[in-house]
Amino acid sequence: MTTLALNNAPIAAGDDVSVPHNIEAEQQLLGAILSANYVMDRIDDVQLTAEHFHDPVHGEIFARAAARIAAGQQTDATTMKSVMADHPGLAMLGGAEYLLKLQLSAVASTAARDYARLIHDLKVRRELIDLGRRVSDRAQALRDDIAPDDQIVKAEAELFQLASTGNTQRGFQPFLAALTEAVEIADAAYNRSGQLAGLSTGLLDLDKMLGGLHNSDLLILAGRPSMGKTSLATNIAYNVAKAYRKGADGKATDGGVVGFFSLEMSAAQLAQRILSEAAEVASELIRKGDLNQDEFQKYLQAAQDLETCPLFIDDTPALTISQLAARARRLSRMPQGLNLLVIDYLQLVRPATAKDSRVNEVSEITQGLKAIAKELNIPVIALSQLSRQVENREDKRPQLSDLRESGSIEQDADVVMFVYRGEYYKEREKPGEDNLEAMAKWQQDMESLHGKAEVIIGKQRHGPVGNVELSFDGRFTKFGNLVKPWQSAGEIA
């Protein structure tokens, strides 16, 4: 690496030839900033900080110059002389004379962004080396209280944190680029079966309301216990994976690859639900092993059909948002890619660091999930619990205010959906056998609600809100398309 100092001035006090660094690049960037303050705007998207400089004196010059420029103050070698007068490290390099040499020796301000990028990348390399040493030291310390698996998780979290600091901001882009992308999305929707802009959920009426599942969207699927939110999420994940078709370019032309974080249920329990739906064998019979020959053959056939289904399940409990993001990135980098991510459920994800309140913790989690959706350019479905206040109302249909920690969830989500099954609540209102009139009315209501569910879209950033009726078969925990009175079953198959 280059370690030359200006005009043979002493090499900076923080210099160390054993790690990646480039003192000359740091000098050139600082000189460009002191000679032309607008350079700071040019390097804004690199997200450079004082810590990125290998020489601590250079880092301090950068930090103080950045503060002055941000305040609208003229910043050059002359003004920085008084600002840096109290810094002993600068005196070792030559004091005010060194600042002047920095300013006068800047080659070209047009190269400043390249220097900034180089300084940033060298810092990341140094931190990678440092992380490798820490991982090695921890692995060599044979401590009984720290398992190897825990060390791997810690290393993954630290690597994710390092990776996230290495991202640069996209900044402004020409409207033509955004316009072209919008037209391409519309063209793909026009030519796709069903004419959807996003991934099909396999539920026709829900697709019509949402336009499919859109890339970079965070969708919250909420409901009270026993409403079927996990079942609906599982159904959608299965439908997307089952429809997967790969094009000549290796990308999905229909359906997609699904990643499913099951923080509550085990992978085997989730697979059992999917098999129950696919085979149309009651999940209760599967759990008990009470299957006849025909049902068992249907179950085995469904298992064989699903062998190649691109659905990946991670049932690690108590993941932090940083671990979850790292694992999603890892899956997306695999050859098959990633087209949809499902998290069951949001309240079981832990923040990267403990916060002073649960609201702040949930805010970090929802912001992290939205960041994953944008970074990987995929839809992310996160399940969420609802507060008990739903049970205190006569009309049990949920609304946005029922979301736990609703402020951050509602704010960060692009779509908020609620699962509601009136049959569940009506079943618990069964009158006594002696009240014949009430019993007749209850039976009539139960008949009208049987096998039906609603998905209430309470928020949709880019579309309408409203209710979608679905069918629900509790035997197979399966949601489906509801046949309307004016339709035949063949019309919605």
Q: Quick check: 232 pLDDT over 90?
A: yes
* Dihedral over Cα of 33, 38, 40, 45: its sign: negative
Query: Tokens in use for 24?
Result: 């000359």
Kindly indicate the confidence band of residue 142, based on its pLDDT and cuts at 50, 70 and 90: confident
Please report which confidence band the pLDDT of residue 379 belongs to, taking 50, 70 and 90 as the band edges. Answer: very high
Query: What is the average per-residue pLDDT within 80-92?
Result: 87
Greatest CA separation for the chain? 103
17 versus 27: the higher-pLDDT residue is 27
Q: Which of 419, 399, 414 is nearest to 232 (CA)?
A: 419
Mapped onto helix, strand or coil, the DSSP state of residue 197 is coil
Which of the listed CATH numbers 3.40.50.2300, 1.10.860.10, 3.30.950.10, 3.40.50.300 matches domain 1-170?
A: 1.10.860.10
User: Confidence class of residue 195 from pLDDT cuts 50, 70 and 90?
Assistant: low
What one-character DSSP code corresponds to residue 213? B
Instruction: Indicate the pLDDT class of residue 19, thresholds 50, 70 and 90.
Output: confident
H or E stretch at 89? helix 88-93
123 compared with 451, residue with greater pLDDT = 123
Torsion of CA 257, 263, 267, 269, to 10 degrees: -120
Q: Strands across the sheet with 478-481, in order?
A: 311-314, 258-262, 340-344, 380-384, 218-222, 415-420, 452-460, 466-473, 478-481
Residue by residue, DSSP assigns 310-352 as -EEEE--SS-BHHHHHHHHHHHHTSTT--SEEEEE-GGGSBPS
Lowest mean pLDDT among 62-71, 293-302, 306-315, 453-462: 293-302
The topology (CATH level 3) of 200-492 is: Rossmann fold (3.40.50)
320-365 pLDDT, tens per residue? 888 888 888 888 888 888 999 999 888 888 887 777 788 888 888 8
Q: Which residues pair with 382 in a beta bridge?
A: 220, 343
Query: DSSP states of 75-86 as a string?
Result: -SHHHHHHHTTT
What does the pLDDT read at residue 488? Answer: 52
DSSP 366-382: HHHHHHHHHHHTS-EEE
- CA-to-CA distance for 268 and 294, rounded, in angstroms? 22
Each residue of 148-190: pLDDT tens digit?
777 776 777 677 667 655 554 556 667 777 667 667 766 665 6
User: What residues pair up with 380 in beta bridges, in sequence order?
Assistant: 218, 341
> Domain spans of the chain?
1-170, 200-492
Burial per residue of 444-459, b for 16 or more beta-carbon CB atoms within 10 angstroms, e otherwise: eeeeebeeebbbbbbb
Residue linked to tokens 């100092």: 5
1-170 and 200-492 share one fold: no
Q: Residue 393 burial (CB < 10 Å; 0-12/13-18/19+)? A: exposed
pLDDT at 14: 44
Which helix (H) or strand (E) covers residue 9, if one does? Answer: none
Measured CA angle at 267 (ends 265, 269), to 5 deg:
60
**Cβ-contact 33, 75 below 8 angstroms:** yes
Q: What is the pLDDT of residue 194?
A: 55
Phi-psi region of 363 (alpha: psi -120 to 50; beta: other; left: phi over 0): alpha
- The 10s digit of each residue's pLDDT in 282-291 is 777 777 677 7
| pLDDT score at 52 | 92
